[in-house]
Amino acid sequence: MSLKRVSLRRRVLIAFTGLGFALSLIFAAAVAYTVDRYEAILVEEVLRGQAEDYSLRLIANPGLPLPQTHRLSGYRRDASGRSDIPAA
């Protein structure tokens, strides 16, 4: 059995195709990781900023109702442990 020798042109083509595929996979993984981390940091900071804003408002006006939206709901618990958190 004799193996047909692959030409240099075909070997270079295969090598560059493999290298391009590997670099594309690495780049896609890096972008996906970066986007995921950035999104988590962004959401955390936005929620922290809103919570700090509401806490400053509550200090200024303790009777202020907490937010009740489809994205954000706030509940209060006092020092004795009583709260307005619904059972559900």
pLDDT of the residue at 2: 52
Residue with tokens 């594309």: 24
pLDDT of the residue at 72: 66
3-state SS, one letter per residue, for the chain: CCCCCCCHHHHHHHHHHHHHHHHHHHHHHHHHHHHHHHHHHHHHHHHHHHHHHHHHHHHHCCCCCCCECCCCECCCECCCCCECCCCC
Confidence of residue 31 (pLDDT cuts 50, 70, 90): very high
pLDDT of the residue at 64: 77
What tens digit of pLDDT does each residue of 44-88 get? 998 888 888 888 888 888 777 776 676 666 676 777 777 767 766
